[in-house]
Copies of this chain bind each other. A is one copy, B any other.
Amino acid sequence: MYNLTKIEGGVCAAEGFYADGISAGLKAKMAKDMAFVYSDTLCEIASTFTTNKMTAAPIRHFKAKGEFQTNFVLINSKNANAMTGKAGIIDIDEILATLPKEITNPVMSSTGVIGVRLPKEKIIAGAKLFDLKKRDGDAAAAAIMTTDTFSKQIAYRIELDDGSSFHIGAMAKGAGMINPAMATMLCFITTDAKVDKDEMQNILSENVKTTFNAASVDGDTSTNDTVMLLSNAKSGAYHKEAFSEALYEIMRFLAREMVRDGEGATKLVTYEVSGAKNNKEAEIVAKALTNSLLVKTALYGEDPNWGRIASTVGASGAMADEELLSISFEDVCVYDRGELHFDEAMEKQASEIMKLDAFTIYCDLGIADGKFTAFGCDLGYEYVKINADYRT
């Protein structure tokens, strides 16, 4: 059939793609704060954006262009260019107008503080430092970070039966304002697969539902969320299932990494909800669990307080009944369809599981076949510290 192999290189893993990160002085201490992704031929674009009605200028700028191909994405951190009105759009036009001639229909993407105009001169000066021949995926992934504590990238080589192969690589940033309906997350994916534009868009949109949109740090949806997939078709190779599977693996990996690196998070919790009336209700329950403050603080306290999970299921609005519900921490069933059998020994077992960096909470509603899996984290002092002090 086909074979997926994880490889190095991030967004530069696919043929013909280049990337780098530099410091334009937006972040303190000369940290990298501007990145580019460049392809030496034009790319088709698939994308999904935030559902927030206060859509940031770069996204409005992108959408206003209609159908187009590009070979260049410029990304800055530290300033979101959101709530900046028409001026924010003009700033983008002025910045992009200064880019070198080999760049066609450039796209801009921003993340950072809302409600402050872009430091245009710094960004224009920063872009002049770009070397389009550089293939430094690490530097690019570092430059797009905000409160992320580690950079996030991944790439696959996909080998087909006929000996041909293609690549998909990606980088992402996350950390805060991460929530099930697209969040302050940026994700850039590059591929040399010879994939049809519409098919690429469909596969991307489908995968977003079960990856980035199933991930929540704090339930806040940002103004800037962007997932962008660029394809330059250079490999000449394609296989729908292989492409789809590799893309899913990449997006799922990055979504989980974003949650694992959520602001102040100490653990990654997977919520596998089953037995709901339908998949939609399972999704409602799973996302409610990722967003409940009482569940998140119990996770931080490593307290197997399953009552809060039951209460959150009940409050979610989904059809539920305490006589049908069961809840497990990994293989320890702490509540079984009305049976209160949670004793000290079980509490100890469950507490041990909660000390892990990553574990799964299973929640079966016992009603029908609906299921959904969501990714969440705990909420501790560090989240408060980061977000009470973010601007100052």
Contact = CB atoms under 8 A, between A and B. Distances in A.
Interface in A200-235: 218-223
A385 B380 CA distance: 8
Contacts of A381: 381, 384-385
A328 interface: no
Interface stretch (A18-26, A159-167, A295-303): A295-303
Q: Among the interface residues A113, A300, A312, A387, which one has the most CB atoms of the partner chain B within 10 A?
A: A387
A321 interface: yes
A275 interface: no
A349 to B, nearest CB: 16
Contacts of A315: 51-54, 179, 181, 220-222
Contacts of A220: 292-294, 308, 311-312, 315
Nearest to A304: B391
Contacts of A294: 176-177, 218, 220, 387
A338 B85 contact: yes
Interface string A43-56: 00000000111110
A114 B310 contact: yes
A340 interface: yes
Contacts of A323: 85
Nearest to A114: B307
Contacts of A379: 293, 384
A325 B54 CA distance: 10
A322 interface: yes
A109 B213 CA distance: 39
The quantity of this chain's copies bound in the complex is: 2
B384 A384 contact: yes
Contacts of A385: 381
Given A305-B390, A340-B85, A380-B388, A54 B298 contact: no
Contact of A310 (B115, B301, B313): B115
Given A87-B340, A177-B311, A381-B384, 18 more contacts: A52-B315, A53-B313, A54-B322, A54-B325, A80-B307, A85-B323, A113-B307, A115-B335, A115-B342, A220-B293, A220-B294, A220-B311, A221-B314, A222-B311, A222-B315, A297-B383, A298-B388, A301-B392
12 contacts: A53-B315, A53-B318, A53-B319, A83-B335, A115-B340, A116-B340, A179-B315, A219-B292, A223-B314, A293-B379, A294-B387, A305-B390
Interface of A: 51-55, 80, 82-87, 113-117, 176-177, 179, 181, 218-223, 291-294, 297-298, 300-301, 303, 305-308, 310-315, 318-323, 325, 335, 338-340, 342, 379-381, 383-385, 387-392
